[in-house]
Structure 1
Amino acid sequence: MSLVSLGDMAQSFMLRRHMGQVKADLALHTQEMTTGLITDIARRTDGDLGPLNAISASLARLETLASVTSEMQLWSGAMQSALEAIDNRAIELGPQLLSAASARQSATFAAVSGEGEAAFLAAVGYLNTSLDGRALFGGVATDHSPLPDSASLLNQVAEVAQGATSVADLRDRLDTWFGPGGGFETAAWRGGAALEPVTIAQGETARLTPTALSDGIRDTLKGLALAALAGRDLPGPGIDDKAAMLAAAGDTLIGSSGARAALAADLGITEQRIADAQTRNAAEMTALKFAESQIRAADPFEAASRVQEAETQLQLIYTLTARLSGLSLADYLG
C-alpha cells in the first residue's frame, strides 16, 4: 500500500482550494458576460460609491414625483370633466330659460323648470364625484362628499326661499345664502381647506384649486336653483313671478359663464404644468439611468476574456489534480 506524503496532501489541498476560487471567478465573470453588469461595484469605483448613491437617491425622488404627478393628472382630468359637464349644461340652459320667460306659457315654464331642477341635481352629483374613494371638490377633506346629496341640498335652498314675498326678496335670500359666509358655506359645505401645493418637479409645485365653494360653482348652483324653485311655485304661482324667476335664473347662468371659464382655464394651466413636469422628470430619469448603467456596465470583451482565462485555469488545475489522485474529471467534479 502506497503512502501519500505530507507534501502531496498539502499540494492536493492547495489545488482544491484554488479550484474553488477559480470556479467562483468563472461564475462571476459568466454572470457579468451574461447580464452586462459589473458585480464588484466597489472595485469599479475604487470604493467611491458617492456618485452611484447620489444617482440612486435622485432616481428614487423622480419615481416618487412620477407617482405624484400621475395621480394629479388623473385628478385634474376628472375635475376638468366634471366642470365641463356642469358648464355645458349651464350654457345650454341659460338661453332656454330666457326664452321661456319671454314666452310666458305655463307648459314651457314647467318644462324648463324641470330641466333646471334636473341640471341642479346633476351638478351637485358632479361636485360630489370621488376618484379612488376620495372626493375631488372637497379640498383636503377627501374622505366624504363635500355637499349633501342633490335632493337634500335643493330642499335646503327651498327652505331658505320659503316666506319670500317677491322675486327680488327671494333672489336676495339666495344671494346671501350662496355668498361668502352664507348658509351654503356654513351649513351645506362639508369639505375642508383648499389643497396645499404639491411638488411636481425639482423646485416646482402645483395646486388643484377648484372646490364646490369656488365662485363660478356657487353662482351656477344659484342659477339652477332659481330655475328649479320656479317649478315649486316660489315665491308664488303667478305667471309674472315664474317668468321673473326664469329670467333671473337665465341671467345668473349666463353671467357666471366667465367665472366657470376662468376656473376651467386655471385648471387647464395646472394640467399643462403637470404634463410638462412629467416630461422633464422622465428625461432626467432616462439620463440618470444611462449614467448609472455606465457605472455598472461590464466590458463584454473583458468579461469574455476572463471567462476563457478561468476555464483554462480550471482545466489546468484538473489536469494537475488528476495526476495526483488518479481521479477522472467526472469523479473529481462530483
Structure 2
Amino acid sequence: MPLVSLGDLAQSTMLRRNMGLIKTQMDVLSQEMATGVSADVTRKTAADLGPLHALDNRLAQLEGFYAATTELELMAAGQQAALGVIDGFATTLAPQLLSAAAGSQPGSLSAIGDDGEQKFKAAISALNTRAGDRSLFAGMATDRSPLPDGETILQALETAIGTLATAEDVRLAVSAWFDDPAGFGALYQGQGVLAPVAISQGETAELTVTAQTDGIRETLKGFAMAALVDRNQPGPALEGRAQLAKLAGQQLLNSQSARSEVAARLGVAEQQIAAAQSRNSAESTALEIARSKIVAVDPMETASRLDEASTQLELIYAITARMSRMTLSDYL
C-alpha cells in the first residue's frame, strides 16, 4: 500500500485548494465572456460607483416613463377607436334620417327609428369600452363603466321628457336632459378627468375625454332623437315623427365639428406621447451604451486569462495524478 507522509497530505490539500480557486476563477471568467460584463464592478470601477449609480437611477426613471407612456398610448388609441366607431355611426345615420324624413313613409320611419336606437345603444357600449382593466371614458374612475346600458338611458330620457306636442319640443327636451347634471349627468358614473401623467423629464400628458365631453353628448342627442322616432315621439302622427327624424339627422350633422375637435384633441395627446417615447428610447439607448462601457470587460483579455487559468488547472490535475501513482520505490 502506498505510504503518504504528512508533507504529502499538506501538499495534496494545497493542490485541492488551488484547484478550487482556479475553478472559481474560471467560472467567473466564463460568465464575463458570456455576458461581456465584469463580475466585480467595484474592482472594475476602482470603487468609484457614483457615475454608475447615476446612470442606473436615470435608467430606472426612464423605465417608469416607458410604463406610463405605454399605458397612456393604449388608452388614447382605445378612445380614438371608440370615437371612430361613434363618428362612423353618425356619418352613416344622418343622411338616412334626412332621407326617411323627406319620404315620410311609416315603414321607413319605423326602420330608421329602430336603426337609431341600435346605434345609440352601440355608441353607449363604445363609451363603456375598457382597455385591460381600465375604463376609457370614466375619467379618474377607471374601475367602473361610465354609463349604464343604452336601454336604461333611453327609458330615463322618456320618463323625463314625457309626451310632447311637437318635434321641436322633443329636440329641446332631449338637449336639456343631456346637458342637465340631474338628467344624463346623474347617470354618469365617472369622476372628473384623468390626472396629468409624467411622460418624460419635466413633461406631462393628459387624456381629458370622458363620456360627458361636449362633442360626445352632442352626438348622443342626435342618436337619442333618432331612437325616439320609433317610440311615438312626438306622438304617433306621421308628420311629427318625420320632423323629429329630420331634426335628429341635422343634430348628427351639426355635431360633426364637435366630434372632430375631440378626435383632434386626442390626436395631439397621441403625438405628444409618441414624441416622448421616441426621446426616452433614444436616451435609454445612449445611457445603456455608456453603462456598458463602464462595466464591460475586454473580451481578448478575458479570453487570455481564461486560457491561462485552464492551463493552470490542467497542470494541477497532472501533478495530482502523478502524486497518486507514487510508490515507496519511486520515492526512494
TM-score (normalizing by structure 2) = 0.88
Match of 2:330 in 1: none
User: In 1, Cα distance between the equivalents of 2:4 and 2:232?
Assistant: 120
**Structure 2 residue matching 1:32: 3-state secondary structure:** helix
2:102 corresponds to 1:102: yes
How far apart in 2 are the matches of 1:233 and 1:2? 115
CA offsets, 1:247-300, max 9 Å, x none? 211111111110001101111121122222222222222222222222221111
- Is 2:193–2:210's contact at 8 Å kept on the other side of the alignment? yes
Matched residue, 2:329: none
What is residue 25 of structure 2 aligned with on the other side? 25
- What does residue 126 of structure 1 align with? 126
| Unaligned ranges ≥5, structure 1 | 330-334
Pairwise CA distance, 1:135: 1.7
AA aligned opposite 1:291: A
For the residue of structure 2 that corresponds to 1:305, the secondary structure is helix
Aligned to 2:235: 236
The alpha carbon displacement at 1:83 in A equals: 0.5
Q: 1:37 to 1:262 in 2, by over 3 A?
A: same
Q: Which amino acid aligns with 2:293?
A: Q
CA separation of 1:9 and 1:81: change in aligned 2, threshold 3 A: closer
Does residue 215 of the first structure (1) align with residue 214 of the second (2)?
A: yes
Counterpart secondary structure, 1:219: helix
Matches within 5 A, 1:1-334: 4=5, 14=14, 16-185=16-185, 187-315=186-314, 326-328=323-325
Judge conservation of contact 2:97–2:112 (CA < 8 Å) in 1: yes
CA contact (8 A) 1:141 1:191 kept: yes
**Partner secondary structure for residue 274 of structure 2:** helix
**Mapped partners of 1:94, 1:208: distance in 2:** 28
Cα deviation, residue 96, structure 1: 2.0
What amino acid is aligned across from residue 181 of structure 1 in structure 2?
A: P
Distance 1:328 1:62 in 2: 63
What TM-score do the two structures reach when normalised by structure 1? 0.88
| SS, match of residue 237 in structure 1 | coil
Deviation at 1:87, TM superposition (A): 0.6
How far did residue 42 of structure 1 move?
Answer: 0.6
Once residues 37 and 94 of structure 2 are traced to their aligned partners in structure 1, the CA distance between those partners, rounded to angstroms, is 66
The amino acid of 1:239's aligned partner reads L
Tell me the CA shift for residue 245 of structure 1.
1.0
Is the contact made by 2:163 and 2:235 (CA closer than 8 Å) also made in structure 1? Answer: no
Question: Residues 127, 311 of structure 1: CA spacing in aligned structure 2 closer, same or farther, 3 A cutoff?
Answer: closer
The separation in 2 between residues aligned to 1:241 and 1:65, in whole angstroms, is 56
CA contact (8 A) 1:216 1:259 kept: yes
* Aligned twin of 1:332: none
Deviations along 1:73-126, whole A, 9 cap, x unmatched?
Answer: 222212111111111111121122222222222222222212211111111111
* d(CA) in 2 for partners of 1:130, 1:31: 45
After TM superposition, give the deviation of residue 318 of structure 1 in Å.
Answer: 5.7
**C-alpha distance 27-167 of structure 1, shift in aligned 2 (>3 A):** closer
Cα deviation per residue 1:13-68 (whole Å; 9 max; x = unaligned)?
55554444333333322332343221111111011112222222222222222222
Kept in 1, the 8 Å contact 2:33–2:303? The answer is yes
Q: Distance in 1 between matches of 2:3 and 2:195?
A: 87
The one-letter code sitting in structure 2 at the alignment partner of 1:24 is T
Q: What is the letter of the counterpart of residue 145 of structure 2?
A: S
Q: How many residues align?
A: 325
Compared with structure 1, are the counterparts of its residues 14 and 180 closer, same or farther at alpha carbon in structure 2 (3 Å cutoff)?
same
C-alpha separation between the residues in 1 aligned to 2:325 and 2:62? Answer: 57
Q: How high is the sequence identity, in percent, across the aligned residues?
A: 46
1:180 shift after superposition: 5.0
Does the Cα contact within 8 Å between 1:176 and 1:182 map onto a contact in 2? no
